[in-house]
Structure formats: structure tokens, C-alpha cells
Structure 1
Amino acid sequence: METFIAPDGEPRCRWAGSAPEFLGYHDTEWGFPVVDDRRLLEKISLEGFQSGLSWRTILAKRENFRTAFAGFDFHAIADFADDDVRRLVSNAGIVRHRGKIEAVINNARRAVELEREAGSLAAYFWRFEPDPSEVDPPQSVSTSPASVTLSKDLKKRGWKFVGPTTAFAFMQAMGLINDHATECSTRTLVRAARTAVTPPR
């Protein structure tokens, strides 16, 4: 069964019922199209932090991450120095993994370069939106040809912790694909939101 019945009597993706905090995230964020550069940088950063951990752990610490990383303003993060790395490694409110912390700083610097080239992160990332005919059935895969292509391109540009699985989770969450279960009531809302938003190209 791909769905469960939420408290309002409507079906939702089954994973949204596996933790109390997931339903709100599922209903208001996951899969809705995002064209805000800070949110895009935040999500791909948090997906990197999630590697080896659960999304529940990351979601519980998200506000701490936002505070620690300057609201994911990549221009500000790009100026972080060794003192900032030491500060972040000692911050018990986030995941204190030096490699992942340094990756966010590195990726922020690469994001500044990418903004200069593409105009915005949104303009870059939305280039990788797959044709609907190329999308697998909802929640049936953990990578896709589009996520592999995105991952390879980011790595070529010097980004870190952006493997195909991370790229796919990012694409799911940021609305580059609508991966809500077929019977999920939120799927229709996401479809309408995707129609209403014209991402920069």
C-alpha cells in the first residue's frame, strides 16, 4: 500500500505517517516546486548531511542548521573560514561531521560561481527537470537518469556530497518531479503548483 489515511480522512504517501513531524512537511513542502535559491542550496546541503542518517534527524535539526549556516545565504557561507569550521564542528545542534560541513562551504562557493554563469541556482537546477514520459512510477526508484546527469554535472563543477541518490532526493523534494503516490491527495496540489510556477531557464 503506497498510502495511509491521514487524520483528515484523506490518503497521503505512506512515509508521511511514519513520524509525527512528517505530515506537515509532506503536505506543505515535499514536492512543491521551489525556485528560491536559498531553499535550493539548503535542501541539497541537508540531503548531503542526511547521508547515512534519517531525514527525521535532519528535519529535527533544520532550524539549527539554518542558524549555523547563515540562513543558507550561499554568498555569506562562501566567506566562511577555518574559525567557522571549528565553530560548526563544535555545534551540538547540527550534525558535527567535518567533511559534510566543509562540503557545504565548498558548495556555497561553487554556487556563487554557478549563479554568475546561469543567473540563479534555480535556472541551473531546473534545466534537469525530466520529461514526464521519462519519470518512473512514484517512489519506485532512488535514482534516475536525470539525477545521475545532475550529480555528474555538479561533481564536474566541484560540488561535494552530491551523489545520484542525494540528487534524486533533492529533485523529489524541490518539485523537479512529482513523486507523490498516485492516490496521495497532495499529488493533485503539487501538480497544480507545478503548473502555476514557471521556473527560470
Structure 2
Amino acid sequence: ARLTHVLITHAHYGHFGGAAELRERTGAKVGGPTLGSDILRDPYLEPGMRYNIQFNRYPPGFEAHACPPDFVFDDGETIAVGDITLKAILVQGHTKDSTCFLFDDGGKRGLFTGDVVFYGGKLGLLNLEGFSMDDYRRDIHKLTDLGVDMLLPGHSVFVLRRGQSHIRRAAHKLGDFVMPETFFETNEFMWERDYLKVMSE
């Protein structure tokens, strides 16, 4: 199979930093959210970049690479990739441009969630410019009745069945007065524990 499209869920460098090289190597078209396209063109505008530099999270000599998108998309637009059509769903909160992609394939419904919703209903909470709890509470309900089987987040494990239950749990947590669990508890450093838990269900 040939890579034809790279779709960026949101303009955080950890999610688009390699997109320009992928495009160069494969000829794939890169698409990104309209609301984050300024950062794709100049990654140093990304709010988290200065913190990652300040706390030495990048290796010595690090340089961020811009990736001007070949096309942009907005809430509700559809994107055809081979035999599959993905619907863009803007869910602001983690960032102003956070976008999920809904698709149907082989009798199952999947949702790429970027950093919006993770396994166990964990959320992409940040102490960072561009994050908004109010937006999260408002927009999470776009996802609560989609009938999702496969939940495919940008970090940690994929959920291949009953994905909708994880989304509903996230929405429930956002409706409570207690701070929800953050995705930092579901990041790459915790993947093994989460994977084993999913496999045992």
C-alpha cells in the first residue's frame, strides 16, 4: 500500500513534527486543521514549544521543521482516503484546533481522537495557552452518540471494541466538579500497564 495522506489532528509539534519528512519521502498530501495552520507553517508559534525548550525536552541542536499543509479542513468536512471517508469533528479544549476523524470500515466504526479522548476516558488536560476546560465541556458531546467501536488516540493503546464507553466516561468526568484524569497517566511511559489491562478485558 502507498501512503497518500497524512492527517494532522492538532498543531502540537509532537503530532506534526515528522509530517514534512513523510511528505518528502512518500509524496503524501498533508492536511491539517484550518485553526492550526499558522503553527504548521511556523512551529515556534506552538505554545508548548517554549516550555519543551526551557525544560530541555529536545536533544541538543534541535530544530523544529515547518510543514505548510497541502490542504486544510474544518469541522464537519469529509476527506476521502482510498476506500474510506473520514469526517472531521472539531473538539476544542486540548487545543483550539483539536480534530477527531470518524470513519467506517469493515462493519466497524472508528474514531481517531488525537489528544481529545484516551483509553479509560482520560483527557488531554494541559496547563498551557490554548487549552480550555469550558470548550472541552461544550464539545465533548459531539462524540457521545457516535456508536464508536474503535477508539484510536494519539498516545498509548488503541481500543478495538466498545470504544464508545470510553468516550462516555470522558464526558461524564467533564460534567463532574472533580478534575478528570489526564492523558499524562496514559502516555508512552505507562503504555505497558494500560496494554495489559485492555488485553485482559
Interval containing the TM-score (normalised by the shorter chain): under 0.3
Give the structure, 1 or 2, with the largest relative contact order (CA under 8 Å, sep 6 or more).
1
> If each structure's helix is expressed as a fraction of its own residues, which one has the higher value?
1
Tell me which protein shows more strand as a share of its residues. 2
